[in-house]
A and B are shown apart, each in its own frame.
Chain A
Amino acid sequence: SQQGEEDPQALSIQEGENATMNCSYKTSINNLQWYRQNSGRGLVHLILIRSNEREKHSGRLRVTLDTSKKSSSLLITASRAADTASYFCATVGGDGYNDMRFGAGTRLTVKP
């Protein structure tokens, strides 16, 4: 499997605004996953989108996947101060391996 690359590295917004983070990868995938990490804690799985899906929703989260561009985006709507965290994407490749590798993440700060 390969590493996802998140963009931007850091994002600062006001509470109530939407936050969009992007992820790019290089080769074919089976699925792409987004995780959140609060400071000093382990990663928490947010959402998984399969290669044959284009969009997925979970509460205030919306994930899109464009396999032709090898990119994904995570949208958090109506952000809250509690959404302040680092967000990572990771891919599971079509090669059958299950080892996910994470990029540097996007550090999101939501100001109250």
Chain B
Amino acid sequence: DAGVIQSPRHEVTEMGQEVTLRCKPISGHDYLFWYRQTMMRGLELLIYFNNNVPIDDSGMPEDRFSAKMPNASFSTLKIQPSEPRDSAVYFCASSLRQGNGYTFGSGTRLTVV
């Protein structure tokens, strides 16, 4: 298996633009998680899905953030409009079942200028 695949690896965008981050979890994993990592705030859980259904989105910072999982093999995290304070590394992770270890993707480094 190729692991959790995220795209793009790097994204530079101007303030106000829409940004879409993509994630392909490991096949067969029932859980998918989106995290954001910054120096100031560390790793923050944004949202997680179980069997494509959002379970907890309490970590999504604002209405500008939205996440979808239309099928078991694909998820998106969208920021619209983007702001400089959204600059961070965004990680996607998947897990086989409840309580198991997570497999993380390589992350998307987002820079909003």
Contact = CB atoms under 8 A, between A and B. Distances in A.
B105 A45 contact: no
Measured as residues with beta carbon below 8 angstroms from the partner, the interface class of chain A is: 20 to 34
Contacts of A100: 33, 45, 102
Contacts of B50: 98
B101 A33 contact: yes
Interface in A35-68: 35, 40-45, 48
Measured as residues with beta carbon below 8 angstroms from the partner, the interface class of chain B is: 20 to 34
B99 interface: yes
A108 interface: no
A28 to B, nearest CB: 13
Interface string B26-48: 00000101010000001101001
B71 interface: no
Contacts of A41: 106-107
A105 B43 CA distance: 9
Count chain B CB atoms within 10 A of each CB in A44, A45, A88 and give the residue with the most. Answer: A45
A102 B91 contact: no
Contacts of A43: 43, 91, 93, 102, 104
Interface of A: 30-31, 33, 35, 40-45, 48, 88, 92, 96-105
Given A40-B107, A45-B101, 6 more contacts: A30-B99, A33-B101, A42-B107, A98-B50, A99-B55, A102-B42
21 contacts: A33-B102, A35-B102, A42-B104, A42-B107, A43-B104, A44-B104, A45-B102, A48-B101, A92-B99, A96-B98, A98-B31, A98-B50, A98-B99, A99-B33, A99-B48, A99-B56, A100-B45, A101-B43, A102-B42, A103-B42, A104-B42
Interface of B: 4, 31, 33, 35, 42-43, 45, 48, 50, 55-56, 91, 93, 95, 98-107
